[in-house]
Each structure stands twice: as C-alpha cells, then as structure tokens.
C-alpha cells in the first residue's frame, strides 16, 4: 500500500465523522455588536459554551435567515424583522424586546455646541451619513427626524446611505460625511468613545426604537437547542441588562 495516500484518506474519514459544531451563532444588528461582544465574554465565562457573532443590518440578516442561514439567535435593531420571522414559522415563540435604542447626531469635527438638526440644511453641510432605512431601523428613525423637523426636502440630496450603523460610522469618522445619524451605543463603544462629537436626538422626533430578539427554531434533537435557549435567556438576565445599560440602552 502507498502510505503517502493513506494519511490524507484517514484525515478525510475522520473529518466526515466529526461532530457538527455546537458553537451558538448569534445574528446581531450592527448597532448592538459591541454590547454583544461583552455579553459573549460573560456568557462563555459562565457556561463554557462558545458564541460566534455575525454582524449586519437587521434587514440583511433577516434575508439570510429566510434563505436558510444557520443562525441560532437573532438580535435585531427593531421588532419588525423578528415579528416577520415568527409569523413565517421561523421560531416557536414570539420575539421579546430587550432594549430601547437612542439616536444621535454625530460629527468628526463639528463641536458639540454647534451640532443641531438645523445645521443640516445649511451650506456648511454637504453630506449627511444615514443608515439605509430599507434595512436599518436607525435609518428609519433618522428620516423620521428630518421629516418631523421639515428638513427632509432640503437635506435629501445630501444623504449618503450606509448599509448598517457600522458602515455609517465609517463614513462619519473618515470625514466622507461632515455629520451623520447613528446609534448611541456605537458612539459609547470602546472603539468609538471620545471620537468626534455627538448630541442625543430628542426621542419625540422619531418612533421609539424597540429592539427585539428571537430564538430561532431548532429540531428537538439539535445539540444546540438547549445552549441557544440559555444564551437567549442570558440576554434578558440582570447581567445582560447591565451591559446594555452601559451602552446607553434603556
């Protein structure tokens, strides 16, 4: 026998017999990614179970779930997308609201004292970064603000859309846009804290940003069913709530 071919063959057989990964995959809206990193650390420390975080806009993650992505838990930036998943049979239980988000107006160079929504329609501002309202709930809130302040018509040509709050933050911090709307949790994250200037937008100017999570459906014999439930419960625990509060969530 040619042993040169025997070793790769054995490796292939062992790979085919290996157990499927028991790592919990959490689809996470971009605005809550930094919170999720901390929750991941605490949950893994407490349970020994591993978490993998997949970040994207809520709309894009929902599309992936619809197309069969192997996610175990979906942590959205709104209630609309988790409700849609539940109604389409993607979960055995209704989604739960885990936090109320806050919108900010943020700039790399404009001082806080000069930041306000009225500034957006002036010649000083050429580009305004906004999460895409088609896929990102914070983008919907930003458009609500512009319309409620009767600024949408003047500012619409200036709007530059990011596919998520994360991409919108890149536009703002790179200076590609002089100013932009984003989630308070992003500006309070360790990666972004003290970068630029921001003001919290009055919450009466937009519909409340209720953020919900949903435990996705597992078969009864799935090795991840129990651990996914534990992670979902951990998100709503006192430890989970304390981390969310640190990032400005109500």
pLDDT, position 13: 45
Tens of pLDDT along 51-101?
999 999 999 999 999 999 999 999 999 999 999 999 999 999 999 999 999
Beta-strand pair 209-215/96-101: antiparallel
pLDDT, position 218: 85
pLDDT, position 20: 54
pTM above 0.85, yes or no: no
Question: What distance in Å separates the CA atoms of residue 215 and residue 100, rounded to the nearest whole number?
Answer: 19
The pair phi, psi for residue 197, each rounded to 5°, is: -135, 150
In 10 A of CB 225, how many CB atoms? 14
Inter-residue contact 14 to 40 (CB < 8 Å): no
What percent of the chain has a predicted confidence (pLDDT) above 90? 86
Q: Which helix (H) or strand (E) holds 106?
A: strand 103-107
Whether the per-residue pLDDT at 4 is higher than 90: the answer is: no
- When the pLDDT of each residue in the chain is averaged and rounded to a whole number, the result is 91
């Amino acid at each position: 026998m040619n042993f040169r071919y025997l070793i790769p063959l054995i490796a292939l057989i062992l790979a085919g017999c290996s157990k499927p990964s028991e790592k919990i995959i959490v689809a996470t809206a971009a605005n809550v990614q930094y919170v999720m990193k901390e929750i991941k650390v605490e949950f893994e420390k407490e349970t020994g179970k591993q978490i993998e975080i997949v970040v994207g806009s809520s709309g894009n993650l929902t599309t992936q779930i619809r197309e069969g992505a192997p996610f175990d838990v979906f942590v959205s930036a709104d209630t609309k997308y988790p409700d849609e998943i539940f109604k389409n049979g993607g979960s055995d239980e209704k989604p739960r609201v885990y936090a109320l988000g806050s919108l900010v107006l943020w700039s790399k160079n404009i001082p806080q004292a000069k930041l306000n929504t009225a500034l957006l329609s002036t010649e000083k501002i050429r580009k305004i970064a906004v999460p895409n309202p088609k896929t990102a709930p914070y983008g919907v809130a930003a458009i609500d603000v512009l319309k409620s302040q009767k600024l949408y018509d003047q500012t619409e040509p200036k709007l530059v859309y990011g596919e998520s709050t994360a991409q919108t933050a890149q536009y703002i911090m790179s200076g590609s846009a002089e100013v932009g709307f984003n989630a308070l949790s992003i500006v309070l994250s360790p990666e972004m804290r003290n970068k630029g200037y921001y003001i919290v937008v009055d919450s009466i100017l937009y519909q409340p940003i209720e953020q919900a999570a949903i435990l996705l459906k597992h078969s009864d014999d799935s090795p991840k069913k129990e651990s996914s439930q534990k992670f979902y419960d951990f998100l709503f625990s006192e430890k989970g709530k304390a981390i969310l509060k640190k990032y400005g969530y109500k």
